[in-house]
Amino acid sequence: MTQARRISAVLTIGVSLFGLMSTLGASGASAVTAPTPVPTVAKGLRAPVAQPAALDAAATYQPQVSCSPVALPGTKKLRDLALRTYGVGRDGGTTRACSIGGLSEHKEGRSWDYMLNVKNPTEKKTAGQFIDFLTAGGGLQARRLGVMYVIYNKKIWSSYRTGWRDYRGAQDHTDHVHVSLSWAGARGLTSFWTGRVGAVDFGPCAAFTGQPAAVRSSARRTPCPTTAARVKSTSLPTTYVGASGTLVRTAQKAVGTPVTGRFDTRTWTALKKYQSANDVPKTGVLDAATWASLVPARVTYDAAKGMTAAGAAAYGRQHYGATRLAPASAGKAVLLLQVALGMPVRQRTGYYGARTKAAVAAVQSARGLRRTGTADRSLWTVLTPR
């Protein structure tokens, strides 16, 4: 199964926590002992600020939905504090290329691998100290840090299930402790770092079903809206950071970055800039919406195919007149609006971004409507030929 399809499953099916953890390789066993002996005298991490009496809510499972291989602030702070506190082991990395393997919070900068080998007595003891600090008392410090789960020595502990369980994944994690954080924890917005109980961060949202979520730099305090059906498909495959080859060269030429054939950080940054400028969801991925904008000749399905501006306006007024379209809206209604507005083909994406908002506002000003930048029946009416 491709990574795009795995992301689609997470976004559209609403898998149970048990199913999600099965994907991670955890068994359903209970009453499993800790992966290392519990230390007689625990050594933990010292919070940089005074801690509130109340606890943050236990982190729920938030799987990878986007591609942003940049370590987030909370992940980096946890890494640096642990290495400084224990002085044993080493940093095994926080990020991974999105083009490699299956779902992983590493690909969103929300995981850290602390290299501590069970075959080394000193490192194993340190792993025990660190793990006990996170999980003792039902995971009190895990809640303050926003830790979702910890894996070590073929065992897994999670904030949303009781106790340790056997872990059967692709790696046995005998040479490192894996820690995955919630979005709030990864952004450093939990009480361990701020001294205030943190609110839930729901993370990034996908605009279209089966596509990666758009990268965002700030917390989201409300759940994601329902994803829209894709309005365009293309014969080109979804391509992620870390990939290389002819397709990457094609994209690099289109976004105006050096043509190296390597989907590196510079290309990723240039691609996001292009997406923002052309009303493509800013995923940082060469996904269906992006390829349709970059290489229109390779589009295999277009929900507005053959429609003129007048036809799109008439259809939109009839079928979507009662629907308010605003920034971040997505779907066929937005695509028809972009056609009706006469926007360039590369910006007819079905996603309501800054370009669509500006085009709507310009028509509103020219036709004596209140300049809101949002579309409703009044806008469809002035766009429809008499």
Residues 42 and 150 placed together within one structural domain of the fold = yes
* Least confident range of 39-48, 139-148, 194-203: 39-48
Number of compact structural domains in the chain: 3
CA angle 260, 266, 270 (to 5 degrees): 100
Beta strands in the chain (DSSP E): 90-91, 111-115, 147-152, 155-158, 164-166, 177-181, 232-234, 299-302
Residue 333 lies in a domain: yes
Q: Which of 302, 319, 354 is the last residue of a domain?
A: 302
310 three-class SS: helix
Q: Which of 138, 167, 194 is the last residue of a domain?
A: 194
pLDDT digits (tens, 9 = 90+) for 275-293: 999 999 999 999 999 999 9
Residues 98 and 243 placed together within one structural domain of the fold = no
Residues 156 and 260 placed together within one structural domain of the fold = no
Looking at per-residue pLDDT, the higher value among 23 and 15 belongs to: 23
- Quote the tokens at residue 245: 């080859």
Determine which helix (DSSP H) or strand (DSSP E) holds 19, and give its type and residue range: helix 17-24
Residue 379 lies in a domain: yes
Residues 289 and 349 placed together within one structural domain of the fold = no
The pTM of the full predicted model, rounded to 2 decimals, is 0.89
Q: By residue range, what is the domain housing residue 172?
A: 3-194
Rounded CA gap, 165 and 187, in Å? 27
Which CATH number characterizes residue 379's domain?
1.10.101.10
Q: Does residue 9 carry a pLDDT above 90?
A: no
Q: Does residue 104 carry a pLDDT above 60?
A: yes
Q: Which of 148, 169, 194 is the last residue of a domain?
A: 194
pLDDT digits (tens, 9 = 90+) for 137-165: 999 999 999 999 999 999 999 999 989 99
Per-residue pLDDT, averaged over 340-363, amounts to 98
Residues 117 and 259 placed together within one structural domain of the fold = no
Per-residue pLDDT, averaged over 226-237, amounts to 97
**Which amino acid appears at position 217 of this protein?**
S
Residues 106 and 22 placed together within one structural domain of the fold = yes
- pLDDT value at position 3? 52
H-assigned helices in 25-120 = 73-86
Residues 272 and 337 placed together within one structural domain of the fold = no
